Amino acid sequence: MTAEQTKILRTVPREKAFYFFTSIGNYTGVSAASLKEFVEKMNEVNMKSLEFHLYRGDLEKWLEEVLEDTQLAEEIGKLRKINLAGEGLRNQLHAAVSRRLKRLTGQSGSLAI
Amino acid sequence: MESGTLRFKSNGFPLDAIDMGILEALQTDARQTYMSIGKQLGIAHSTVYDRIKRMEQYGIIKKYTAIIDAEKVGKGKIMAVMTVFTDPKESERVAEKLCEAPQVLEVYSSLSEELQIIAKVVAESQESLHDFIANSVAPLHGVLRIRTSMVTKKFKEIPLSILNDPEG
């Protein structure tokens, strides 16, 4: 595993984790401190939360500034521009993040949605 | 007003009707003179002076302060009531942390079905309110979830006063 892969896959401290909100100031109680946890939590979190964060650019920001994964941040940015919503958005987001996770970890199997 | 009637005790310090009258007068306007308070209560200004000094010494009068309109000084354009649901073991610590934040004006705890900390928060904008909650409140150990309601209109706001004792 390269240094870059290790960096992206690391678990970040609590204060740098991603906290899922459904609207301004409304925290769901779900957080993710690594890319692996992020892809898992994406399935359990309220749909409204994914929409809220995607269209504010929070997901890209966290991926780029905290996990330092520019490539995935760009991919998420593209999803934002095609105005997805509902389960379609969740599926697309999950697919993009789990694809990236598999590439980074070198796994060949698929991650369940 | 019944002079000399014992209304309540504070740490063994008995307050009579004159003390209560002085406190009421100060809460209405803390900048008025001893003379003015004396006139209202029908007592000498020297008595007012003595009573006030005594109540200051005993910590009944903690301090004199100003009530500032945050909107007019350009602070706190957004006001919100934040309910933080916490792990009971951590609630005390969460509340203490909230008290340290300058954005947080008031902090209370409440026990209904779950332990909640209720805080009044001010911010420059919705974005800064969200940043504060996302970066400084949600990551606190023991925070389970947060509900925030933005205040859209203020109908009443006064400091706690002996004047508005619901018992009369």
Look at residue B3 and tell me whether its pLDDT is greater than 50. no
pLDDT in tens, A36-88: 999 999 999 999 999 999 999 999 999 999 999 999 999 999 988 888 888 88
Question: What pTM, to 2 d.p., does this model score?
Answer: 0.76
Q: Whose CA is closest to A72, among A3, A8, A7? A: A8
Amino acid letter at B116?
Q
* ipTM score assigned to the predicted complex: 0.84
Burial letters B85-114, b for 16+ CB under 10 A, else e:
bbeeebbeebbebbeeeebbeebeeeeeee
On average, the pLDDT of chain A sits at: 90
Q: Which CATH number fits domain B8-57: 3.40.50.720, 1.10.3720.10, 3.50.50.60, 1.10.10.10?
A: 1.10.10.10
Contacts of B135 in chain A (CB under 8 A): 15
The sign one gets for the Cα dihedral A104, A107, A51, A21 is: negative
Q: How many folded domains does chain A comprise?
A: 1
Instruction: Yes or no: say if A39 and A98 are a contact pair by the CB < 8 Å rule.
Output: yes
> Mean pLDDT across chain B, nearest whole number?
86
Stretch 20-49 of chain B: residues touching chain A, C-beta under 8 Å: none
CB contact under 8 A, B148 and A14: no
CA distance B150 to B132: 14
Residue B10 pLDDT: 57
pLDDT score recorded for residue A80:
87
pLDDT tens digits, B101-160: 999 999 999 877 778 999 999 998 999 999 999 999 999 999 999 999 999 888 887 766
Grade residue A1 by pLDDT with cuts at 50, 70 and 90. Answer: confident
Identify whether A110 is part of a domain. no
DSSP A109: S
Q: By residue range, what is the domain housing residue A40?
A: 3-105
Within the 35-54 window of chain A, which residues sit less than 8 Å (CB to CB) from chain B? none
In a domain, A113, yes or no: no
Q: How far is CA B4 from CA A1, A8, B1, B24, B35, in A?
A: 84, 74, 9, 16, 21
Q: Does A17 touch chain B (CB under 8 A)?
A: yes
Instruction: Note the pLDDT of residue B75.
Output: 65
Q: Are B82 and B118 in contact (CB under 8 A)?
A: yes
Domains B8-57 and B78-150 in one fold: no
Cβ–Cβ below 8 Å for B148 and A29: no
Q: What does the CA dihedral A72, A75, A77, A83 come to, rounded to 10 degrees?
A: -140
Query: In the predicted model, is pLDDT for residue B82 greater than 50?
Result: yes
Domain range B78-150, CATH class: alpha beta
Domain ranges across chain B = 8-57, 78-150
